[in-house]
């Protein structure tokens, strides 16, 4: 394998740090070109020095001087602001762009990398939820390969290898069920921030951990799978699998089901996106089936976790509906993390925004950005009303 040159957008977040751990194990095969972070200047500086990055971007412009001063002795170029990320990802020195920033804010830089024909290691699922059709069309047009880093989608991608052209009968997306899987609805209604952040299997950032607790994460992943694999919603099935050993499955027309397995460790999916189509060693925990003994499976409870239903609805509606759903969810999750609203207020806000009047059947990129803005404002009004009414 020839050495690959990598940009990590969101290098100080959970996925970004795990990606650097992968690179740390294969310094001869991967070279860090670009690291970007929103705010975590101290960690960004440390990473840039350790991995001898060519350039870094600190999105928060107030921190530019701090980063620039720290990195000038190392001849590492320092830039600030979102636009710099969009410009630098197009550089000829970059082969692979890992999009590991959180939420809709990752869309513009992802689009920029796609337009430059880069290989995208896609960890930012909100990009495909909000603008899946547009991003996939651009990828086709500019010959940009999109490799999934989300563990379920990496699993599906791996289950599809060697089956070129075979008809997918069904995708079985596995879900851990999150921390509230066995809780009664009335107890979930009173769940606190700390309880929701306590994920049983995966160690992740706070936004995705709350999404896992509501199961909106699975909803977002249904839509992500639709765009990555061209599979309509009715062929995407969610199955709760609390052990998180099977990361997802593909069922073919002949009834044969292929599963991809491993202990829950994001580095596996990250490394495969970096090394594809090759496989490299990794210092992860290996499966011992005799020790594992058994695995269990359940249908998702859509009354306790309405987010899954909302995602199917958004997918069926098409247009900018998934963008509406995503924006409302981002605003609501941020408010829940600030303890301004209750747990079920998250999906109530999403539902109410989806019932609103901003639906556009064939949105362009500008419409997607406008929808996002409008819905964030709408959701924040709702949050204001709710937090004024309740005490948490």
Residues in contact with 160: Cβ distance below 8 Å, sequence separation at least 6, in sequence order: 168, 229, 250
CB nearer to Mg ion: give 110 or 112.
110
Q: Which is nearer to Mg ion, 33 or 150 (CB)?
A: 150
**CB of residue 251 vs Mg ion: minimum separation in angstroms?**
19
Least CB distance to Mg ion at residue 69 (A): 38
Residues 6+ apart with CB under 8 A from 1: 29, 275, 278
How many of the chain's residues bind Mg ion (CB under 5 A)? Answer: 3
Closest-CB residue for Mg ion?
Answer: 150
> Using CB under 5 A as the criterion, what x/- string covers residues 152-191 for binding Mg ion?
x---------------------------------------
Least distance (Å) between residue 265 CB and Mg ion: 12
Q: Which is nearer to Mg ion, 118 or 125 (CB)?
A: 125
- Assess contact for 326 and 220: CB atoms under 8 A: yes
C-beta neighbour count of 303 within 10 angstroms: 8
> Of the two residues 56 and 225, which places its CB atom closer to Mg ion in the complex?
225
3-state secondary structure (DSSP) of residue 62? helix
- What's the closest the beta carbon of residue 294 comes to Mg ion, in angstroms? 23
Contacting Mg ion within 303-322 (CB under 5 A): none
Closest contact distance (angstroms) between CB of 150 and Mg ion is 4
As measured in angstroms, the least distance from the Cβ of 77 to Mg ion is 33
- The strand order across the sheet containing 77-80 reads 77-80, 55-58, 30-37, 4-9, 96-99, 119-122, 146-148
Which residue lies nearer to Mg ion by CB, 33 or 152? 152
Residue numbers 8-37 binding Mg ion by CB under 5 A = none
Interior/surface letters 37-54, b for 16+ CB within 10 angstroms, e for the rest: bbebbebbbebbeebebb
CA-based angle 356:218:154, to the nearest 5? 130
3-state secondary structure 241-254: CCCCCEEEEEEECC
Residue 150 binds to Mg ion (criterion: CB under 5 A): yes
* Residues of the shown chain interacting with Mg ion in the complex, contacts defined by CB under 5 A: 150-152
């Amino acid at each position: 394998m020839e050495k690959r040159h990598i940009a990590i957008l969101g290098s100080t977040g959970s996925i970004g740090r795990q990606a650097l751990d992968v690179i740390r194990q294969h310094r001869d095969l991967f070279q860090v070109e670009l690291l970007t972070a929103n705010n975590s200047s101290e960690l960004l500086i440390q990473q840039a020095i350790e991995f001898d990055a060519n350039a870094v971007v600190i999105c928060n412009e107030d921190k530019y001087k701090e980063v620039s001063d720290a990195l000038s002795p190392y001849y590492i170029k320092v830039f600030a602001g979102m636009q710099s990320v969009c410009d630098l990802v197009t550089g000829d020195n970059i082969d692979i762009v890992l999009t590991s920033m959180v939420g809709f804010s990752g869309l513009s830089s992802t689009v920029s990398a796609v337009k430059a024909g880069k290989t995208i290691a896609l960890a930012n699922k909100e990009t495909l939820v909000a603008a899946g059709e547009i991003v996939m069309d651009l990828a086709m047009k500019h010959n940009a390969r999109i490799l999934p880093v989300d563990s379920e989608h990496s699993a599906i991608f791996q289950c599809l290898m060697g089956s070129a052209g075979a008809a997918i009968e069904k995708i079985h997306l596995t879900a851990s069920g999150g921390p509230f899987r066995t809780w009664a609805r009335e107890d979930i209604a009173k769940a606190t921030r700390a309880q929701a952040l306590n994920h049983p299997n995966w160690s992740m950032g706070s936004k995705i951990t709350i999404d896992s607790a509501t199961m909106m994460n699975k909803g977002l992943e249904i839509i992500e799978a639709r765009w990555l694999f061209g599979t309509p919603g009715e062929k995407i099935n969610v199955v709760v699998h609390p052990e998180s050993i099977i990361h997802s499955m593909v069922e073919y027309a002949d009834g044969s089901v292929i599963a991809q397995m491993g202990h829950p460790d994001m580095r596996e999916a990250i490394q495969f996106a970096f090394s594809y189509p090759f496989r490299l060693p990794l210092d992860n925990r290996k499966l011992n089936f005799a020790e594992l003994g058994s695995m269990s499976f359940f249908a998702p409870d859509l009354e306790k976790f309405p987010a899954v239903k909302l995602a199917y609805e958004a997918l069926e509606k098409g247009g900018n509906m998934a963008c509406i759903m995503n924006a409302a969810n981002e605003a609501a999750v941020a408010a829940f993390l600030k303890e301004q609203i209750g747990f079920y207020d998250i999906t109530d806000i999403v539902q109410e925004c989806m019932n609103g009047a901003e639906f556009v059947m064939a949105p362009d990129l500008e419409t997607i950005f406008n929808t996002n803005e409008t819905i964030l404002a709408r959701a924040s009004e709702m949050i204001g009303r709710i937090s004024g009414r309740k005490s948490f």
